[in-house]
Amino acid sequence: MSTTTALNTDWQRVIEEIAEEVKPLLATGAVADYIPELRNVDKDNFGMFVSLLDGREYYCGQAQTKFSVQSISKVFTLTKAFSMLKDGLWERVGKEPSGNPFNSLIQLEHENGKPRNPFINAGAIVVADCVVSHTQDSLNDMIDYIRGLAANKAIHIDHAMFRSEKAFGHRNAALAHFMKSYGNIESDVDEVLDFYFGHCSLSMSCEDVSRAFLFLANHGVHPLTNKRYLTASQAKRLNALLLTCGTYDAAGDFAFRVGMPGKSGVGGGIAAIIPGLLSVCVWSPGLDKYGNSLAGVKALELFTTKTGISIF
């Protein structure tokens, strides 16, 4: 990335152009319906928020509307688990793309209950177990941690979403019990699942998520608070996992089209970063067949195309 390009970019104009260009796509995605509560979200929503490391911020559309963060929250639990367990974490969960849907059960048996990576559901449930086994009052502690990352105390669980996830979370329960049978879940399965459903059910805006990802663009230190969340080496590794596994079996396509490490959620959010420069969060609830926001991926593709800035 050239510094001149970054300095000369008219960020506000770029994101407003993008919002206009993706409008025809908003109706074409499908909202996730396997969590019934997600069906109630309006597909017309689109928001985008850009946070530069130098403190400048730009946004458009519904960037301040709260949405269900779902799998984006797996980045925050992974950060916490990685900082506590360090490289010991990789004895419990792998670092390879799965090439399978995010909630697949198939690979787990072949691989003896060790999930491929921390972002597929099985991997995030192992990460949840690590956090639950090493903290007191784990969910409240995790919510406070995320509030600190987003510099916003007004981040809460959507309790209707939580109940909906729990009532229909049979696949996740199956994954957790299966891994318990291999000894890869230490705590009580129901406690781990409640923690997992809890962090997935958090409501955050693009503004919250974009700010919460800034530490990954800044070698592990949050530029708004100067707090270190990861070592520089750990931040590098987490970004590598985002690039290779953050958008599931579409991670290759996402890297090809967008060129940023990023994480999606079935609520329609995608957060991505460029080390040394910025973080960005986009939200549009209509999903593609991989479970990534359809207009969101396009918006990020346009973002790196129009600015000429990517990690490559």
Query: What's the closest the beta carbon of residue 233 comes to ligand DON, in angstroms?
Result: 27
Interaction between residue 115 and ligand DON (CB under 6 A)? no
> Is 248 labeled as catalytic in the residue annotation?
yes
Interaction between residue 279 and ligand DON (CB under 6 A)? no
* CA-wise closest residue to 97 among 240, 216, 291, 230: 240
Identified catalytic residue from 43, 51, 68, 74: 74
* Beta pairing partners, 157: 202
Q: Please select the residue that binds ligand DON; options are 49, 58, 102, 303, rule is CB under 6 A.
A: 102
What residues contact 115, with CB distance under 8 A and at least 6 apart?
A: 93, 94, 98, 107, 108, 122, 123, 125, 126, 179
Binding mask 282-301 for ligand DON (x = CB under 6 A): ---------x----------
Interaction between residue 108 and ligand DON (CB under 6 A)? no
DSSP state string for 236-255: HHHHHHHHHHTTGGGHHHHH
Interaction between residue 165 and ligand DON (CB under 6 A)? yes
CB 96 within 8 A of CB 117: yes
Interaction between residue 172 and ligand DON (CB under 6 A)? yes
Interaction between residue 265 and ligand DON (CB under 6 A)? yes
Identified catalytic residue from 196, 258, 279, 282: 196
Q: Which two tokens stand for residue 101?
A: 């849907």
52 or 93: whose CB is closer to ligand DON? 93
Q: Please tell me the distance from the alpha carbon of residue 259 to that of residue 284, in angstroms, as a whole number.
A: 19
> Is 127 labeled as catalytic in the residue annotation?
no
- Residue 270: its H or E element: strand 269-274
Binding mask 35-74 for ligand DON (x = CB under 6 A): -----------------------------------xx---
121 or 218: whose CB is closer to ligand DON? 121
> Is 266 labeled as catalytic in the residue annotation?
yes
Q: Please tell me the distance from the alpha carbon of residue 297 to that of residue 278, in angstroms, as a whole number.
A: 17
Q: Please tell me the distance from the alpha carbon of residue 258 to that of residue 275, in angstroms, as a whole number.
A: 14
Tell me which residue has tokens 């502690």: 141
* Beta pairing partners, 270: 264, 282
70 or 205: whose CB is closer to ligand DON? 70
Tell me which residue has tokens 């850009």: 50
121 or 284: whose CB is closer to ligand DON? 121
Residue nearest to ligand DON (CB): 71
Q: Which two tokens stand for residue 35?
A: 């969590």
Interaction between residue 29 and ligand DON (CB under 6 A)? no
CB 55 within 8 A of CB 192: no
Is residue 259 left, alpha or beta, with left meaning phi > 0 and alpha meaning psi from -120 to 50?
left
Query: What's the closest the beta carbon of residue 231 comes to ligand DON, in angstroms?
Result: 27
Interaction between residue 264 and ligand DON (CB under 6 A)? yes
158 or 301: whose CB is closer to ligand DON? 158
184 or 247: whose CB is closer to ligand DON? 247
* CA-wise closest residue to 209 among 299, 281, 283, 151: 281
Which residues carry out catalysis? 71, 74, 196, 248, 266
Residues that bind ligand DON (CB under 6 A): 70-71, 102-103, 121, 165, 172, 200, 264-266, 291
